[in-house]
């Protein structure tokens, strides 16, 4: 039997689902225009008694011109714009803070949502293009021991438009094109499955920003049934699995979600994802000094992943003040990497970005909430 110990508000809990068709989750049926695809938007526009082609204009304003407000949509009549403002809540994230790293140009964004929740996103610059790391939930229910996002639990799921909005706003504010998207910010994308899938559909739509599926990565702590569902969608996005340990026992010490899914089940789901999509799995492994960085851990990890078409991303743990976890020395990280390479495993050590601006997951948001700043 599965238990939910330590994991609050998981799928199947009593927390209402927040959907584009009931965005307040209270049955009032309040719709989120920015989360509708073109056919849904067309239906909505016709319901309002407007001509069909208005839907295309509206869609273009939202998903191509990245308009922040209805007021910008100047080819729509003033009366129609007023009606939209009255009847729909604008879910565009509002910028609270933008921090630019002096070390590597990484930018962190803190946004306020329409209901007062606060989320963070990151813009990272690489030679191959700009990558945005988005949050998929306000807070997180997974409570991984080393992660700042889980402290304080999950507030709510983000709507598709709120995931898109982070990318759209960052592209507008920075004035630079976003080419890659990673769902590695606060939240568990596969614990907000329907909204996350709708987000992917809109993000890759040829009538919208049209980001290629291969330029998108979803990172999960391992919600097995939804990993399998995602595999069945047969998309070309990369799946990253937060592994962090080479055995079920050790994983249990770091990640409460391991109580629900045994490591063997999680790895089977990874193999299934590869079979269905042909996409190589990325395994994320946060190196924590004295916890999972021993020679024996590397050996076990190599054995565990033997024969899998995968890539291992080692992340020296980003210390958070609520926990005493520390990074191994650079030489220990290198030794761990070498040990895996010797076994023929493809591995990189993730370059730390934006260290001077609260780089780790959820740290910026946490700092903001702790300072007690109210929207
Ligand atoms: N919920 C998803 C995505 C969010 S976190 C998941 O679990 O994958 C993105 C990655 O950063 C995960 O691998 C997570 O375990 C890791 N992470 C979180 N806090 C960290 C920290 N302080 N140091 C290093 N990695 C961290």
Residue 311, CA distances (Å) to 243, 337, 345 in order: 12, 12, 7
Count up the domains in the chain and report the number.
Answer: 2
For the CA of 219, the closest atom of ligand 1 is: 8
Tell me which DSSP letter residue 19 carries.
B
| 120 part of the active site | yes
* Pocket-testing residue among 137, 141, 219, 239, ligand 1, by greatest number of atoms within 8 A of Cβ: 219
For ligand 1, atom 8, the nearest C-alpha belongs to: 220
State the pLDDT at residue 15: 67
Q: Is residue 23 part of a domain?
A: no
Q: 115 and 44, same structural domain? A: no
Q: 174 and 62, same structural domain? A: no
Q: What is the pLDDT of residues 23-40, one digit of tens each?
A: 888 888 889 999 999 999
Residue finishing a domain among 70, 87, 104: 87
User: Ligand 1 centre from 301 Cα, in Å?
Assistant: 18
Residue finishing a domain among 87, 108, 123: 87
C-beta 184 within 6 A of ligand 1: yes
Tell me which DSSP letter residue 90 carries.
-
For ligand 1, atom 9, the nearest C-alpha belongs to: 184
State the pLDDT at residue 106: 94
Residue 148 has pLDDT above 80, yes or no: yes
* Pocket-testing residue among 141, 144, 222, ligand 1, by greatest number of atoms within 8 A of Cβ: 144
Q: 123 and 74, same structural domain? A: no
Residue 229's domain comprises: 94-370
For ligand 1, atom 14, the nearest C-alpha belongs to: 242
Residue of higher predicted confidence among 203 and 365? 203
User: Ligand 1 centre from 131 Cα, in Å?
Assistant: 17
Across 342-366, average pLDDT: 82
Q: What percent of the chain has pLDDT over 90?
A: 82
CB < 8 Å & 24+ apart, contacts of 320-326: 320/146, 320/147, 320/148, 320/360, 320/363, 320/366, 322/148, 322/151, 323/145, 323/146, 325/145, 325/146, 325/288, 325/289, 325/291, 326/288, 326/289, 326/290
User: Ligand 1 centre from 230 Cα, in Å?
Assistant: 20
User: Ligand 1 centre from 242 Cα, in Å?
Assistant: 7
Longest dimension (CA), the chain: 68
The CATH number linked to 119 is 3.20.20.70
For ligand 1, atom 2, the nearest C-alpha belongs to: 220
Q: 179 and 51, same structural domain? A: no
Q: 104 and 83, same structural domain? A: no
Q: 300 and 273 in contact (C-beta within 8 Å)?
A: no
Residue 10 has pLDDT above 90, yes or no: no
Q: Is residue 115 part of a domain?
A: yes
User: Ligand 1 centre from 45 Cα, in Å?
Assistant: 40
Q: Is residue 7 part of a domain?
A: no
C-beta 122 within 6 A of ligand 1: no
Across 290-296, average pLDDT: 97
Across 94-108, average pLDDT: 94
Q: What is the pLDDT of residues 251-260, one digit of tens each?
A: 999 999 999 9
Residue 1 has which token pair? 């039997």
Q: 58 and 35 in contact (C-beta within 8 Å)?
A: no
For ligand 1, atom 13, the nearest C-alpha belongs to: 242
Q: 111 and 79, same structural domain? A: no
| 361 part of the active site | yes
The CATH number linked to 46 is 1.10.150.530
C-beta 242 within 6 A of ligand 1: yes
C-beta 221 within 6 A of ligand 1: yes
């Amino acid at each position: 039997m599965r238990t939910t110990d330590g994991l609050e508000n998981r799928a199947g809990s009593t927390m209402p689902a927040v959907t584009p068709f009931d965005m307040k989750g209270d049955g009032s049926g309040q719709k989120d225009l920015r989360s509708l695809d073109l056919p849904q938007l067309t239906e909505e526009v016709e319901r309002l008694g407007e001509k069909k082609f208005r839907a295309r204009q509206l869609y273009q304003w939202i998903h191509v011109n990245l308009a922040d407000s209805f007021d910008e949509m100047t080819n729509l009549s003033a009366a129609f714009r007023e009606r939209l403002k009255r009847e729909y809540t604008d879910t565009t994230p509002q910028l609270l803070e933008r921090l630019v790293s002096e070390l590597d140009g990484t930018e962190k964004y803190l946004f306020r949502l329409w209901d007062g929740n606060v989320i963070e996103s990151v813009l990272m610059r690489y030679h191959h293009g700009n990558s945005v790391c988005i949050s998929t939930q306000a807070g997180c229910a997974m409570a991984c021991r080393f992660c700042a996002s889980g402290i304080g639990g999950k507030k709510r799921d983000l709507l598709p438009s709120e995931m898109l909005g982070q990318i759209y706003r960052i592209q507008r504010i920075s004035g630079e094109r976003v080419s890659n998207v990673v769902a590695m910010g606060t939240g568990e994308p596969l614990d907000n499955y329907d909204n996350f899938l709708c987000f992917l559909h809109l993000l890759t739509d040829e009538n919208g920003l049209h980001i290629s599926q291969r330029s998108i990565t979803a990172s999960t702590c391992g919600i097995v049934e939804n990993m399998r569902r995602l595999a069945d969608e047969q998309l070309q996005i990369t799946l990253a699995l937060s592994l962090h340990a080479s055995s079920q026992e050790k994983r249990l010490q770091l990640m409460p979600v391991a109580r629900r899914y045994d490591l063997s089940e999680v790895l089977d789901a990874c193999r299934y994802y590869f079979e269905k999509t042909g996409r190589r799995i990325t395994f994320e492994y946060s190196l924590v000094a004295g916890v999972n960085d021993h020679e024996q851990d590397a050996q076990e990890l190599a054995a565990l992943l033997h024969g899998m078409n995968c890539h291992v991303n080692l992340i020296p743990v980003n210390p958070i003040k609520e926990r005493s976890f520390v990074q191994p020395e650079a030489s220990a990280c290198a030794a761990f990497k070498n040990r895996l390479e010797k076994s023929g495993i493809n591995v990189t050590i993730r370059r730390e970005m934006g260290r001077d601006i609260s780089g780790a997951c959820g740290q910026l948001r946490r700092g903001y909430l702790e300072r007690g700043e109210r929207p």
